[in-house]
Structure 1
């Protein structure tokens, strides 16, 4: 590894080692953790508190019946739970730099930290897996070449090796194209919907101006005319927004589950992006509404002026 780094003019630093049991698919219930693919939501691996303290520079001490649990998506964990027939007191922790998805599984990684190796093995009887992680120093070009060259030099399988430059490139290629296509389709549909409403209201303006003229002749003031126009147009423009919000409320769980297939579990980010999107949509529709109201009112007033 160091030889390959030297050839590529890259420095290896901050080397860390992690020993975990090979992850197993699990489902989390109120009573405990159940292993198996049926209904699985996470992949569980165990490690010792000594290894965790060494990696994270912490000073945890655990009794045999107490465990620490870390998962990036922060699932609901009961204070006491059964795992393989044994009851444990649980404590959820929020920090683990060495967390990773084994073999790039779509299941969310969950790590259980135990007092010693014997308990770790009883929680997850799978064989031990040894992980080596490190940072690199050098130019972006040098680090990228090193990341591509290293698995061949070490004769590693693709699913046994992961590097930030390679993952970044794959993510940019996948999500960049999806973002462009999704944004283009969404923008097109928003424009078409808004413009259809706009031109429909303009044509309605030409059809309604005689009616407004009649109402003005029987006592409807100009201010009341403008108020009626604003109310009518606003109602029409609010229906698509209301429909979009209701549709999004029902679709949100499906969107969340779809994103989890790409190992994206940041619910807070999803909520923020959703709210920002709705805000921009409402602003866009209000702009079109303001323009429509102005043109609609002008059409009605033009008719009144001509008759006078």
Structure 2
């Protein structure tokens, strides 16, 4: 075993590559609907992010686009449902005690701050909140520590902790640690934004305005509707144009992309599986010829065939068991990183990834068992 440790290590590495490549791509394909739901919170999604514009100006220009969308929807005898519209600012930094220091993007414990005005948050929330000047609602998805105060851009706010936030916000804050801060007015966020953009080492950022809504109608109607809405959001007479995305029109594109990943994962997984099996097979054949003379000598001095079979069987079992167990352990330790990568594609739940990983491990172990049966027979025929 010591002599052939390098070969066993190579088989283990190939086995890990098979398990990870196949399980992640299967998860990605089977989770396409979850990806679509996370990537597109509603059937129709518009985002506006004009540079160098205050929150009030963006709100005024955005309402013009919203009115046009709703007017066209009514003209098509459709109904706007589950409407959500809000403005926000994304800032990167580092939280030190209760102070959010802007601009520390590359810090080891860097995080993101999502700032939302109270008026927009109340429109999304099931509960209506009231804030006085110098107060803020705080939700921190990266820590359970409650902050008595929150300092950002040299402004201190007395905090009111939020235990939960609307899902449309929470789903966009799970990849990195994020503080959601609800400030009393748009002007408060403007001050933070201006402070950040005036810092020479900080990357400039801007306001964002999101509008999400659903409509009635069949799939064909929704696709035609999406094409027209896309034209409306890009009209030349708008002060601020929007970036429009539709879940229906994007579904085929996402399935095609994830299907491509699945093909690539299965292809690479098959390639690595063949490599691991060939290494295993020819390694056992080579060991069989090396052990043949020694075992025959032992048989001549009284070692019976049953004892020979038990000894060789034990060696072969360890040969096959150790790599697959090592691969499973390595995959378990790599699981958090794999899940983080899949979160980029909108796969937030753990259940699907766990089921796919366990299924791939079982399937790979079955293939491994088949080659074990074949190899053990060849090995015994050689040494006997």
SS in 1 for 2:169: coil
- Which structure is richer in relative contact order (CA contacts within 8 A, separation 6 or more)? 2
Match of 1:306 in 2: none
SS in 1 for 2:167: coil
8 Å CA contact 2:137–2:182 kept in 1: the answer is yes
SS in 2 for 1:75: coil
Match of 1:83 in 2: 152
Q: What is the distance in 2 between the residues matched to 1:267 and 1:29?
A: 30
Q: How far off its partner does 1:184 sit? A: 0.9
Match of 1:153 in 2: 232
Q: What is the distance in 1 between the residues matched to 2:326 and 2:278?
A: 17
1:285 and 2:368 matched: yes
Sort the Cα spacing of 1:21 and 1:220 in 2 relative to 1 into closer, same or farther, 3 A.
Answer: same
8 Å CA contact 2:233–2:241 kept in 1: the answer is no
Match of 1:69 in 2: 139
Q: How far off its partner does 1:189 sit? A: 0.9
Match of 2:296 in 1: 213
1:35 and 2:102 matched: yes
8 Å CA contact 2:342–2:348 kept in 1: the answer is no
Match of 2:116 in 1: 47
8 Å CA contact 1:44–1:112 kept in 2: the answer is yes
SS in 1 for 2:228: helix
SS in 1 for 2:214: strand
Equivalent of residue 179 in structure 1, options 262, 275, 300: 262
Equivalent of residue 144 in structure 1, options 207, 211, 223: 223
User: Structure 1: where are the runs of 5+ without partners?
Assistant: 304-308
Match of 2:5 in 1: none
8 Å CA contact 2:118–2:185 kept in 1: the answer is no
SS in 2 for 1:175: helix
Sort the Cα spacing of 1:117 and 1:16 in 2 relative to 1 into closer, same or farther, 3 A.
Answer: same
Q: What is the distance in 2 between the residues matched to 1:240 and 1:58?
A: 55
1:15 and 2:83 matched: yes
8 Å CA contact 1:84–1:122 kept in 2: the answer is no
Q: What is the distance in 2 between the residues matched to 1:290 and 1:90?
A: 65
For 1:149-177, what per-residue CA distance to the aligned partner results, in whole angstroms no more than 9, with x for missing partners? 31212326886323223443443333331
Q: Which moved more, 1:227-236 or 1:61-70?
A: 61-70
User: Structure 2: where are the runs of 5+ without partners?
Assistant: 1-68, 195-205
Q: What is the distance in 2 between the residues matched to 1:76 and 1:234?
A: 46
State the TM-score, normalized to the length of structure 1.
Answer: 0.71
Q: What is the distance in 2 between the residues matched to 1:145 and 1:68?
A: 41
8 Å CA contact 1:25–1:107 kept in 2: the answer is no
Q: What is the distance in 2 between the residues matched to 1:62 and 1:139?
A: 43
